[in-house]
Copies of this chain bind each other. A is one copy, B any other.
């Protein structure tokens, strides 16, 4: 349905999801759905939905232990965003000059 980079961007475009992701990154251990929803003013189901989206984007994984599902963050997929931005970063400083360089470089390609 959606390509991976779009899933990634959409996952972190929501401020609540960024907060959940952050909480998981800095957590000392994996957190159950209930533990997460305890620290967010939101229903357990709301959290479950966000976790699903983060999981689809590869940013959160789970381990099942009995009735618990412990979630933990995996920031690695964010590398893809870094990669995406790499191309544009060449225009950050003195952007006009660099754009010019880019255009000249690719003129006779």
Contact = CB atoms under 8 A, between A and B. Distances in A.
Nearest to A28: B103
Given A9-B13, A13-B9, A15-B6, A88 B95 contact: no
Q: What number of copies of this chain does the assembly contain?
A: 2
Interface of A: 3, 6, 9-10, 12-15, 25-26, 28, 74-76, 78-79, 81-82, 85, 88-89, 91-92, 95, 99, 102-103
Given A9-B12, A28-B103, A81-B81, A74 B89 contact: no
A11 to B, nearest CB: 9
Given A6-B15, A13-B6, A15-B6, A79 B92 contact: yes
